[in-house]
Amino acid sequence: MEIVICRTYEALSQAAARVVADLVNRKPNAVLGFATGSSPLGLYKELLRLHKEKGLDFSAVTTFNLDEYVGLPGDHPQSYRHFMNENLFNHIHVPMQNTHVPSGTSANHAAFCESYEKRIRECGGIDLQILGIGSDGHIAFNEPGSSLGSRTRMVTLTEQTMDDNARFFKKKSDVPRHAISMGVGTILEARRLLMVVNGKNKAAALAAAVEGPITSMITASALQLHPDAIVFADEDAAAGLKMRDYYDWIQKQARIKP
């Protein structure tokens, strides 16, 4: 796992966006996995800039999102489909039929989850999956205790997650208690993983994920099992890393031409 520590959230977002842009330029029909939440917003803002100013072309890209709240239709202002449309899809000329966000209103959630996995396979798998991390160390909605081999499924959210997400709703009681989420096993099948982490409130979770034991209680720790995972963190999020000096040393050496 590569750990890249940036001075600011803006620098983190720009560095992460370059990874995405490099892939799209190299493989115009790339399959991208997207995440919602506040952490990747800066990355998406930078992708919009690269699209408008540098001509970054998303017209042949296919996308899959990690999760969606159960019970919220796609036009609900707090649905993840609405989030992605407003913050990215509506502005980069990606064909809407190429964008996939789990349905929170399916009549048969189990059947939908199987079809979502099948569609990912039909598209050749995900080339690059973007991730955030919850304050308790979860990725997507794979709450503590989720199997590290789990697949896309309906999950029950913890009170901690509901508390964390309550700020997006008028009141906590409006936060859905269930979601459709890619499983940890599904996520690990992506060819490359990119996690963005910012803020002091994520420092403990990041340290546990990258330096602690691999455990279902910190589902982000499963990234340690992946052969090609990169983490971009700002200074606040990196505050709890015990091997900070080593990560800085690695980055310094990478800038020195052999």
Confidence of residue 18 (pLDDT cuts 50, 70, 90): very high
| Cα angle: 226, vertex 47, 62; to 5 degrees | 60
Per-residue model confidence (pLDDT) at position 172: 82
Whether pLDDT at 258 is above 70: no
Confidence of residue 257 (pLDDT cuts 50, 70, 90): low
Distance CA 70, CA 176 (A): 7
Confidence of residue 182 (pLDDT cuts 50, 70, 90): very high
CA distances from 197 to 55, 89, 203, 228, 247 (A): 27, 22, 8, 17, 15
Whether pLDDT at 20 is above 70: yes
Distance CA 235, CA 21 (A): 24
| pLDDT per residue as tens digits for the range 56-100 | 999 999 999 999 999 999 999 999 999 999 999 999 999 999 999
Q: How many CA atoms lie within 13 A of 146 on its CB side?
A: 32
Share of the chain above pLDDT 90, in %: 90
The maximal CA–CA distance of the chain, rounded, in angstroms, is 58
Give the mean pLDDT of 179-205: 98
Query: Which domains are seen in the chain, by residue range?
Result: 2-254 (3.40.50.1360)
Whether pLDDT at 10 is above 90: yes
Instruction: Please identify every residue annotated as catalytic.
Output: 67, 136, 138, 143
| pLDDT per residue as tens digits for the range 105-126 | 999 999 999 999 999 999 999 9
Per-residue model confidence (pLDDT) at position 168: 82
Per-residue model confidence (pLDDT) at position 171: 84
Closest CA to 12 of 232, 236, 206, 224: 232
Whether pLDDT at 192 is above 60: yes
Instruction: Please tell me which residue, 97 or 255, carries the higher pLDDT value.
Output: 97
